[in-house]
Amino acid sequence: MLLYQPQEGYCYNSDSIFLYDFISSFAPRGRMLDVGAGCGVVGLLVARDNPKVRLEAVEKQDVFVQYASKNAEVNGIDYRVHHTDFLAFKDPEGFDYIVSNPPFYHEGASRSENEMVHTARYNLHLPIDAFISHAAKLLRPQGHLLLCYDPQQFAHLCAACERAKLRVVDVQFVHSKPDRNATLVMLHARKNSRSLMRVRPPIFAFDEDEFSAKSLQVYRDARTHSIKCTP
C-alpha cells in the first residue's frame, strides 16, 4: 500500500501496523469508523484486506484529511472522511466497528512543541473517558471497539469501558523484547457482550537485535510503502 505522509510532523509507526494486524484477526465486516485517522493507515489497510468492510473515518486536522483522502484514492479504496472532532461527530445509523490509534500520551510525558504531533499524541485532545463513552453511543448492538493504548493506563481504559457498558473481551500486549515491559496494549471491547476477557499471548517486536518472526509477518502482510511530502 502506498501511503503519503507529511514531510515534517507526525508519521505512523509500528503501533498502527500491529493494530491493523490485531483488527484483521477478527475478520471485520460492515460499517467501520476509523477515529483520528491520520494519514489513514489503519483503516485503509484493514479495508484493503477485508473487502466486506465499508470504511469511514473521522479526522479533525486539515492536513491529515488531505493525506487520508489522497491515500484512499491512490489505493482504490472507497472512503469517506468526516472533517470534524470525534466528540462532535454524530451518525444516526451506527457502526459495526470503531477502530482507533488514539492520542494516548499523558501531559506528564515529554511533550512536543509541534502542533500536529501534539494533537496526534497527547490524550488531552481526546480524553479516555470521553472517547470511550462517545464510541459506545455510536456502536450498533453487539458492535466492536478495537484500539491500541499506553499499557500504563490499561486499568483506566478498562474502567472507562465498564462505565460505558462495553465488555473488554480480548487484550494483547506488545513488548520490544521478552525482558522489557510492555510498550503497547491492544484492546477489543464489545457492546452487550457477556464474554470473559481473553488475554492473548504477548507480541515481542524484536528477537535479540533482529525483528521477530511475528514482526516480519505483520510487516509483510501490511506491505506499506511511505512517501513523505508536503500536502
Most distant CA pair in the chain, distance:
50
Q: What is the mean pLDDT of residues 183-210?
A: 97
Q: Is-above-0.85 flag for pTM?
A: yes
First-residue to last-residue Cα distance in the chain? 18
The per-residue pLDDT for range 96-145, each reduced to its tens digit, is 999 999 985 555 555 555 454 434 444 555 799 999 999 999 999 999 99
Tell me: the pLDDT tens digits for 14-65?
999 999 999 999 999 999 999 999 999 999 999 999 999 999 999 999 999 9
pLDDT (average), residues 83-91: 96
Angle (nearest 5°) at CA 59 between 55 and 64: 100
pLDDT at 230 over 90: no
Q: Among 149, 184, 186, 150, which residue's Cα sits nearest to residue 169?
A: 186
CATH at 132: 3.40.50.150
Q: Which phi and psi angles does 212 have, rounded to 5°?
A: -70, 165
Q: What residue numbers bound the domain in which 115 lies?
A: 2-229
pLDDT value at residue 119 = 44
* Mean local confidence (pLDDT), 183-211: 97
Count of structural domains, the chain: 1
**Nearest to 170, CA basis, from 191, 150, 146:** 146
- Confidence check: pLDDT of 217 > 60: yes
pLDDT of residue 110: 53
| pLDDT for the residue 118 | 39
Query: Which one has a higher pLDDT value, 125 or 182?
Result: 182
- Mean pLDDT, the chain, rounded, equals 91
> Does residue 71 register a pLDDT over 60?
yes
**Ramachandran angles phi, psi of 209, nearest 5°:** -105, 10
Q: Is the pLDDT of residue 227 over 70?
A: yes
pLDDT at 225 over 90: yes
Is the pLDDT at 79 greater than 60, yes or no?
A: yes
Q: What are the C-alpha distances in Å from 83 to residues 60, 208, 230?
A: 5, 43, 19
Instruction: Please state, in angstroms and as integers, the Cα–Cα distance from residue 3 to each residue in 31, 69, 151, 225, following that order.
Output: 23, 11, 28, 6
Query: How confident is the model at residue 7, as a pLDDT?
Result: 84
